[in-house]
Structure formats: structure tokens, C-alpha cells
A and B are shown apart, each in its own frame.
Chain A
Amino acid sequence: MIQETRAMLEFADDPKQIELATYRKNGGYDAFEKALKEMSPDDVTQEVLKSGLRGRGGAGFPTGRKWQFVPKGNDKPKYIAVNADESEPGTCKDRVIMEQDPHQMLEGTLLAAYAVGATTAYIYIRGEFQKSIRIVEDAIDEARAANLIGKNILGTDFSCDIWVHPGAGAYICGEETALLTSLEGNRGYPRIKPPFPAVEGLWRCPTVVNNVETMACVTQILRRGGDWFAGLGCEGSTGTRLFCLSGHLKRPGVYELECSTDFTLRDVIEQIGGGTLSGAPIQGVMPGGSSFPVLRADELDCGFDIESVAKAGSSLGSGAIMVFDDTVNVRDVVLNISEFYSHESCGQCTPCREGSDWVRRMLKKFQTDGPDEGDIATLMDVTDKMDGTTICALAVAIVWPVQSFLKKYPEAFAEKVTA
């Protein structure tokens, strides 16, 4: 049986863990204190590099390498922006850290700030997460009062402030450059990359954008060692990860698991998720949020790690495993997904703004009337033209799931042949 490995969630069930005294009693901020007093900033980055940590926001970029892109020297202020926008459908894990162990995120943020020389960090929390906002703000206040945040932290010459910055309801602000535009006080429009935020971010200064869970992992790595982290999981997917199991499962929930090539995605769905609630057969799975291709029930025997799921044609993305059984019509499922992205397109790029709405209307017609002859080819053609022609990846987050549904469930999208 697959078991949870609780590192990030070790103390999450204790309601007192959100308080500084309890967090410290459980070893909290020891790693930060040690880093400040005994390690150079570069030592911290080296430990993270050694761990093999890849970002938990969805793209899986190596965290230590991202930090190394920050230019050295002190001519411009440097910033950290923690991505707590958590809006990818199916994803509900960053909130667990913020509501149940907020200092763990703050400690990782301080370690990141120390490593890259940042003096201010903003935690960009989606505006709907009022409970997270309150808890994180209280945690910051307590840490500030204990001189863990602010000027000359613990008597050293390192200073760093941390502030919560609430969003206001826009999925696109989870995209890192949109997050920065939004934080500066604007509509959340993504920016063309390069320059990447690590070089030119907030107010054109170097800015590291990392996901909440990534920051929690940094805390674990500095507490227990990069070698310890690298020894968990498997090559390319080291450490533990929070997975969000949702949909037609018997035991939906947020679970901390190690990736492995020794068991499969299907094993996780069955052993951790408990299989389907109704007992009906699985029809499909979105293994990493709704932005990636769907996997059919016969494609779930891949290993449970980033590389294996990529080989199976999808992605572990943000760790959001959404399962649907065969009682639902896949035409409804893909329509729901397209409604999400067409609502959330920021509208800057024509292929995304017009294309997403056109795709949604086409899928609406498929749902009620079924496709006419030639519709599927047109839809494929239109979505092909949205791929790679836009500022950010939201456009492909429509293309991939939509094309995959059409290809993988041809019987559900059989065209009406005109006589």
C-alpha cells in the first residue's frame, strides 16, 4: 500500500502549529537562524540545488537554478513574490500550508530572500482566501515581533520585510508576470518573457517568483538537508509533494506523497483516492490541473513521477489529480474546462481572447447538437493556431485539454454526416 510521507504536513493537524511558539518548539526557524549565522547566501542556494527541488507551481522549474538567475550586486533592490494565487482548477494545497502551517512558508521565504539578497517579500494571496490572509498576516506579525522579520534580523545585518498582498479574483494573476503586473496596481496582464522576473520583475528589479509549496520545501531542505530531500521520491521528482485528489473519488483530499516509478498513477487513484465513489469505472483523469491533456482510463499505468506522466502524454502540473467516472458525459467536461479558460483569458492577445470564446461556443454546440461535418477539423485548426502565438501559456492551457478530449473520446464527438 502507498503511504503518505509527512514532512511538510508533519505538524499540520495541530491547531496550535499556526502560532509562533508551537512552530518554534517543533524546530521552526532553527534552519533560518543557522543559515543566517553559519551559512553564506550561496551555501543556501547550493543546498537547494543539491536537493533537486523543482517548483511546485505547475511548470516544475528547478528552484536553485531560478535563484541563480538573480544578478549579483547591490545596485537595485531585489524582491521575492510568493505565488499564493492558487487558482488552477483542482488545486487546493497551498491553502493547506497557509491555514495550517504558515510559518513554514514564511521561513522558506526568508531563506530565499537571504539566498538572493532580497529585502522585501510579498505574499500574493488570492483575494477569496480570506482565512489564509488572516492567518498569514497574524503569523507575519508574530514573527516580526520576535525579530524574525524586519530590520537586522536576530542581530545580524540581514533585513527583510514580508507583506501579504491580496489579489481580487483573476486566475491569470497566477501566471508569474501577470502576478507582478497586478501587484504593481494594474489589471493583471502577463508580460512578454524574456526578460524573466528573476532579472526584471517588480518595478523592473530582480524578483524571484516561487509557489507557496516550493517555499515550504525550502524550509524542509534547510532543516533536514538537501541530501535527505534528494533521497525521497525519485530522479527528477525528488522530495515529497502535496497532491490534491478531487472529483469522483471516494477519498478526495490533499495528501503528501513521494513520487515513484515503482507504483503508478492508477495505484495512487485507487489506494489513496479509494477509487470512484459510485464504483463506476473511471472514464478519465486530468493529472495536473485542467491545463494539460486528459488521460483515458487505459492510460493510467504510467509511473507516478513527472517524467513518466509526461511520457504518457500529460503532466503532473500543479499536483491536482481530477478524476471523472463514466457516468458523466465528456462533452460536458470539456465544455466546463473551456468555459473556465475563456472566462479567465485576460484579452491581450487576439488568438487567446477570440479563440477561447470561439472554442467555448463550438463546444457548447457539440454538447447540445453534436458536431457537424468538418467541425472537428476546424476546431483542431483553430486551436493549432492558438498554440505558440500568445504572450503567456493560458492559450495552450485551452488547446491541450480540448484537443486531447477530441482525440481520445472520438465516439463522444462523432460528427453528424449530412446526407
Chain B
Amino acid sequence: MSGNESKFSSELVAKVNELWKRYPHKKAALIPAMHLIQAERDGWFSDETVADTAALFGLPDMHVRGVVGFYDMFHSEPVGRHVVRLCKTLSCKLRGADGLIQHVNERYGVKNGETTQDGCFTFKHFECLGHCANAPMMLVDDEKHLDLTADKLDSVLGGLS
């Protein structure tokens, strides 16, 4: 069922082969594999990437599409070179998340889900990211930035290209 493996890099296919060994059923490796696939395919799942993923796993396209739609970390639209996730849940809200969201809207001209014109970053409001005692906080790609202020946020985003 996996005749399309060559559509992904050989490194990726090798990693997925390793993942498959961890589970009695290959399907269980889908979400871990989709993280690798999304990273290799510019950070989002196009129809083609969905189809290639489905072929690799021998699953219907609809299954993969459903998984993309269900999980907030998978994207079904193109994203910027960096994804900025700002927490908006209660502990962060109480320590100023609303102000930071407004700051990003005004200074960078992007609202929730939008990408800056230069394609540098996509901005997302996220629900609680598990760092509530260091609120407010954001994730930029995989890096966390805690006890955030507008100044700190600017210096992090200012360093992105």
C-alpha cells in the first residue's frame, strides 16, 4: 500500500519506519509522523500532502484530512516561516494576554490566524499552553517565551526573519 514513499525524503521515510516499530498497528504512528511531514512540507497540509500521507499509511485521504482538521497544531492553509502561538486562556488573560493580542494586531497588522505580508510569521491565539504560572506566554515555533511583556514580545519577533 505504500508505493508513494518516494514522495517524501528518504530521511523522513526512514524515521517513519522507525516509528512503525513502536506500535502493533502502523496507523498509531500517524500523528507523530504527521509532525515530521508537516515540517518537511513547509508547515502545512496541502491536498497533495494529505494524499501523500494517506498513501504512505494506506489510509483514506479523508482520514488524514480529518486528523489535520481536528488538531490545532496541524495547518490546512499555508503559514509563515514562523508560527507564533499566544496563549489567551484565563491565567494568561489575567496577566495581560488581551493587551498583547491588541499590541500584535496594531504593531504587526495581523489578527488571529493571519500571516504578516512579508510571510515572516503566522499569528495564532492558542488555548492554555501549560505554563500558567509564568503568564502571559507564547510559543514561537518550538521555543517558549515566558512572563511576556510587549517589549519582550517585540524583541523576540524583531529577531525573526
Interface residues contributed by chain B, number (CB under 8 Å): 42
Within 8 A of A (CB), among B9-54: 22, 24-25, 27-32, 34-35
Within 8 A of A (CB), among B109-125: none
Q: Is B129 an interface residue (CB 8 A)?
A: yes
Q: With a CB–CB cut-off of 8 A, which chain A residues contact B101?
A: none
Q: Which of A126, A129, A185 is the most central at the interface, judged by chain B CB atoms within 10 Å of its CB?
A: A185
Smallest CB-CB separation from B137: which chain A residue?
A92
The minimal Cβ–Cβ distance linking B129 to chain A, given in whole angstroms, is 6
Given contacts A322-B91, A324-B94, A333-B90, contact A92 B73 (CB under 8 A): no
Q: With a CB–CB cut-off of 8 A, which chain A residues contact B25?
A: 184-185, 203
Provide the bound-state CA to CA distance between A171 and B73, in Å: 12
Q: With a CB–CB cut-off of 8 A, which chain A residues contact B142?
A: 130-131
Q: With a CB–CB cut-off of 8 A, which chain A residues contact B28?
A: 165, 183-185
Contact present for B22 and A246 (CB under 8 Å): no
Contact present for A92 and B94 (CB under 8 Å): no
Q: Is B139 an interface residue (CB 8 A)?
A: yes
Which of these binds chain B: A39-47, A222-230, A335-343, A362-370? A335-343
Q: With a CB–CB cut-off of 8 A, which chain A residues contact B158?
A: none
Q: Is B3 an interface residue (CB 8 A)?
A: no
Contact present for B94 and A166 (CB under 8 Å): no
Given contacts A247-B91, A286-B90, contact A86 B130 (CB under 8 A): yes
Q: With a CB–CB cut-off of 8 A, which chain A residues contact B69?
A: 187
Select B144's contact among A131, A320, A340, A346, beta carbons within 8 Å. Answer: A131
Provide the bound-state CA to CA distance between A94 and B132, in Å: 12
Provide the bound-state CA to CA distance between A254 and B66, in Å: 36
Q: Is B103 an interface residue (CB 8 A)?
A: no
Contact present for A328 and B128 (CB under 8 Å): no
Interface residues contributed by chain A, number (CB under 8 Å): 55
The minimal Cβ–Cβ distance linking A346 to chain B, given in whole angstroms, is 8
The minimal Cβ–Cβ distance linking B111 to chain A, given in whole angstroms, is 16
The interface bits of chain A over 92-107 (1 if a CB of B lies within 8 angstroms of the residue's CB, else 0) are 1011000000000000
Contact present for A343 and B144 (CB under 8 Å): no
Contact present for B91 and A246 (CB under 8 Å): yes
Q: With a CB–CB cut-off of 8 A, which chain A residues contact B66?
A: 187
Q: Is A156 an interface residue (CB 8 A)?
A: no
Contact present for B139 and A340 (CB under 8 Å): no
Contact present for B73 and A169 (CB under 8 Å): yes
* 30 CB-based A-B contacts, threshold 8 Å: A77-B24, A87-B127, A87-B130, A89-B90, A91-B130, A92-B131, A92-B133, A128-B126, A131-B142, A165-B31, A166-B32, A168-B67, A169-B71, A182-B31, A185-B29, A186-B27, A187-B66, A188-B70, A246-B94, A246-B133, A247-B95, A247-B135, A248-B95, A254-B133, A290-B89, A336-B89, A336-B93, A337-B90, A340-B90, A340-B128
Question: Which residues of B come within 8 Å of A, CB atoms?
Answer: 22, 24-25, 27-32, 34-35, 57, 63, 66-67, 69-74, 85, 88-91, 93-95, 126-135, 139, 142, 144
User: Top 5 nearest A-B pairs by Cβ distance?
Assistant: A169-B72, A168-B71, A185-B27, A169-B73, A185-B30
